[in-house]
Every structure is written in structure tokens, then in C-alpha cells.
Amino acid sequence: MIGSRLLLFPLLLISLAGLALSQDPLVNSNVRPRPLILQPATELQKLDNEEVELRCTSWRVAVEANNLGPWKTIPEECVGYVRDYMNGKGYSSDLETVSNEAGSYARSVELSGDGKDVWIFDIDDTLLSNVPYYREHSYGLEIFDQVEFDKWVDKAMAPAIEASLKLYEEVIGLGFKVFLLTGRGEKKRSVTEENLVNAGFRVWDRLILRASEDHGKMATAYKSEKRSEMVKEGYRILGNSGDQWSDLLGSAMSFRSFKLPNPMYYIP
């Protein structure tokens, strides 16, 4: 699957290059084509890459600013861009920037000392990284496959996102209650606990997974309900970290929210 998709990418570049040539105002059907001065392939490729880089960066920033409507797969032209971003310095630099900002904020908060100050963390691609899974599934170019993804979750092998582990330990040290709020179902409780502990997340105050009555709810609605329940119990939600806007928006929103980067998928 990934192989055939990736093959399309250079083909797309070639066809875009063809489009650019055919738009040359000197070429029309009444004029014999002038002799083409062919640019070296590497130079053409470079121009295309710059254009792809520009457009895919704009697309990624639009994702992070919550400007896009629901999307099912990443743009086909951006698969190489997303791969390079996830594996290069960009993703880890973005994670560190958000984590550092969250840490500064956490340290600035004066806690009440009554044990009711809460920091919420999402799990997938917030605490635990699914990049090893998406590396085998074209970084979001394939339509999401729940069966395949469940097999990955059952392995309990997702590594920690290091910047998040650092923040996690810091907010615990500061005295926040830590509530983990995930879209995973109750059936995944035990593998999720196993994976968290293996990755270095050793303690938490609550681990909230979707109960049977939560299945089919949109993530924004489900997570808002769970946050509202916390507020009814007297908790103050002071921080919330998630890689999806549906982790952060809705009702009973946190005083400060931290959107971790994720250009691979969108959960409404």
C-alpha cells in the first residue's frame, strides 16, 4: 500500500511540471512549439520541491491553527513533506516549544493545595508516539484503518514523546492531579496501562477511557462531557495537553490549552 502511494508522488511532480510548461504564454495551438531548452532534471525537481514545501507548510500551519474542516487523509503532494517533518528536526522542535511553554505556565500557577488542581493529558500522539505505526502507513496518506491500528495498540510498544514525559513529570512534581483522557475504549485499559508504564509514565490520578455508552460520540463531545464531570466534582482544570483540537475545545475548557503538533490525522 505505502509503496504504490509513494510511487504516485514523483508522478504528480512530473505532471505539475508539465502543467507549468503548457501554461507558457508563448505556447499555443497556432504556433509550432519552439525548441525547448530543457532544464537539468535536478533543477526542475528543486523548483517543484520549493513549491511543495511552501504549500505543505501553509497546509500544516492551517492544521495547527484549526483553520481546516475535517479531513480524512493528508494532501497527496505532502506525503514526503510530512515524512521529512516527522523524522527531521521540525517535529521535535515544535514539541519542545509547546512543552517548554506549558512548563513555564505550570510553574507560574499558584496551586490551591486542596488537591483539586488538574492537568489533563490526551494519550495518543500526546504522551505516546504512534509515529512507528504511521511510518508503516504513509504518514496519514492512507485512510485510517481501525483494525490495523488496534493491532498496533495491542502491542503496547508506543514510545514516549520525550518532551511530554518531561512536562508530565514536572506537573506531577508541582502537585497537579494528572488525569489521562483518551479516545481509546475501555477494552484497551490494560494494554494502555502497560504501554504507559513501559514508556515511563508511571503514575496518574485517573485514566479515563470511552465506556460503551461513549462509543459513537464525537471526540469533542465525549471529552467535553468528561471535563464537565470533573468540574462538577470540584476540580479546576488548569492545563490540557492534546494533539487534536477535539482534545481541547468544547465545554469546560481548560484555563490554558496546549496543542501539540500533528499533521498526520484529524479527529473531529
Residue 81 CB, shortest distance to its own copies, in Å, is 13
Residue from 41, 54, 197, 203 that binds its own copies (CB under 8 A)? Answer: 54
- Shorter beta-carbon distance to its own copies: residue 129 or 195: 129
With beta carbons less than 8 A apart as the criterion, state whether 76 and 6 touch: no
| Start-to-end Cα distance in the chain | 25
Concatenated DSSP letters of 1-37: -HHHHHHHHHHHHHHHHHHHHHT-TT--TTSPPPPP-
With beta carbons less than 8 A apart as the criterion, state whether 75 and 8 touch: no
Nearest-angstrom CA–CA distance, 167 and 265: 23
- Shorter beta-carbon distance to its own copies: residue 196 or 260: 260
Beta-carbon neighbour count of residue 224 at 10 Å? 18
Residue 99 CB, shortest distance to its own copies, in Å, is 10
With beta carbons less than 8 A apart as the criterion, state whether 55 and 233 touch: no
Half-sphere CA count of 220, side-chain side, radius 13 A: 10
| 55 lines the binding site for its own copies (CB under 8 A) | yes
| Positions in 82-121 near its own copies (CB under 8 A) | 89-90, 93-94, 96-98, 101-102, 104-105
- Shorter beta-carbon distance to its own copies: residue 192 or 262: 262
| 20 lines the binding site for its own copies (CB under 8 A) | no
Residue 264 CB, shortest distance to its own copies, in Å, is 15
- Shorter beta-carbon distance to its own copies: residue 163 or 208: 163
Q: Footprint of its own copies on this chain (CB under 8 A)?
A: 54-55, 57-62, 64-69, 89-90, 93-94, 96-98, 101-102, 104-105, 256-259, 261
